[in-house]
């Protein structure tokens, strides 16, 4: 029996990102992902904006409400998605748990800009017996999962050295890649501030920082979002190089080979092995992993505890600024 879903927040990630894109080629929003997956169905949505509610009703043939109380009085969801601005995450999570006990709350990243609030959110869900997942979608991507397998098997030998480019705040957007690198390389062991960088918004910063993970060291560098977007990771290993480009839409592996001209020298192979990315279906990948969790299978989806570790590690960096 399929599980019912309520989406709170009909902004870009809630509904907007793929609204005018071919549904056979792009799944970037919660609404489209849950509507397409056979193990889920959309019960309703919640948003303050009447225009967004009307679009949801027309597109997904499900009701939309202006407030959460009205939605929860009419529906008993198995899954609740929190896709509102970050500053409202904790308030909405508490309201959900005061009224119902869903199987899962899927919250947008980051859990909060305030570490103590995030801790309380994780603890509250644990106390109520509700699974909390956080939408760091990259660790649910088939390409990212394959890279992790390459690292775990030793094909990509560790420790690695790398560089990660990000922008729009270390918490807000940089945490996507920080969380991905935790997935690949393990927990942060230490960090060293290179450049303070600028403040981003009220609660975030864009530092350049060197981070030592369990299986390697990565330098995070802040780019200039106002000029162009650039999100990428390059990892060098004694066995080759991984390039994670175009926000993860392109993943490439180069192994090492002998130089055909200069005897005794070795370099990266000119042959590039493409690793299939599923980022065109990024949100559907998350929903597929969520379905595995609910069916008692091993899955790659970010838990509340893992998201809290990401936020806690980033907070120690920001405290140095």
Residue 315: its pLDDT value, please? 96
Residue 265: its pLDDT value, please? 84
Q: Are 172 and 201 a contacting pair, CB within 8 Å?
A: yes
Of the candidates 278, 31, 294, which has an alpha carbon nearest to the alpha carbon of residue 137?
A: 278
Tell me the C-alpha distance between 43 and 4, whole Å: 6
Q: What angle do helix axes 89-99 and 115-128 make, rounded to 10 degrees? A: 20
- All domains of the chain in start order, with CATH: 3-137 (3.40.50.720), 142-277 (3.30.360.10)
Tell me the C-alpha distance between 248 and 257, whole Å: 26
Cβ neighbours for 79, distance < 8 A, ≥ 6 positions apart: 3, 4, 5, 6, 34, 40, 102, 103, 104, 105, 106, 290
pTM of the model: 0.95
Q: What is the mean pLDDT of each run of 10 residues along the chain (321 residues)?
A: 96 98 98 98 98 98 97 97 97 97 97 96 98 98 98 98 97 96 98 96 93 98 96 97 97 90 85 96 98 97 98 96 90
């Amino acid at each position: 029996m399929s599980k019912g879903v309520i989406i709170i927040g009909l902004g870009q990630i809630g509904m907007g990102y793929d609204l005018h894109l071919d549904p056979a080629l792009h799944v970037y929003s919660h609404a489209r992902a849950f509507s397409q997956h056979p193990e889920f169905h959309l019960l309703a949505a919640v948003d303050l904006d009447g225009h967004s509610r009307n679009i949801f009703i027309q597109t997904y043939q499900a009701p939309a409400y202006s407030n959460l109380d009205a939605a929860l009085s009419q529906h008993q969801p198995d899954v609740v998605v929190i896709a509102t601005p970050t500053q409202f995450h904790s308030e909405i999570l508490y309201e959900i748990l005061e009224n119902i006990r869903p199987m899962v709350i899927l919250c947008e990243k980051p859990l909060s800009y305030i570490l103590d609030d995030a801790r309380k959110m994780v603890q509250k869900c644990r106390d109520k017996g509700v699974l909390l997942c956080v939408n760091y979608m990259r660790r649910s991507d088939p390409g990212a999962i394959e890279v992790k397998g390459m690292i775990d098997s030793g094909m990509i030998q560790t420790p690695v050295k790398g560089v990660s480019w990000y922008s729009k705040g270390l918490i807000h957007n940089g945490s996507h890649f920080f969380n991905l690198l935790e997935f690949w390389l393990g927990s942060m062991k230490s960090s060293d501030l290179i450049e303070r960088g600028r403040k981003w918004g009220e609660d975030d910063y864009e530092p350049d920082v060197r981070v030592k993970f369990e299986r390697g060291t990565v330098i995070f560098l802040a780019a200039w979002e106002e000029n162009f977007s650039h999100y990428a990771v390059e990892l060098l290993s004694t066995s080759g190089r991984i390039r994670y480009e175009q926000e993860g839409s392109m993943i490439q592996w180069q192994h090492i080979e002998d130089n055909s001209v200069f005897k005794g020298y070795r370099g990266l192979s000119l042959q590039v092995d493409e690793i299939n990315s599923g980022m065109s279906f990024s949100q559907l990948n998350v929903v597929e992993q969520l379905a595995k969790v609910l069916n008692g299978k091993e899955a790659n989806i970010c838990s509340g505890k893992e998201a809290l570790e990401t936020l806690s590690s980033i907070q120690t960096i920001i405290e140095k600024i």
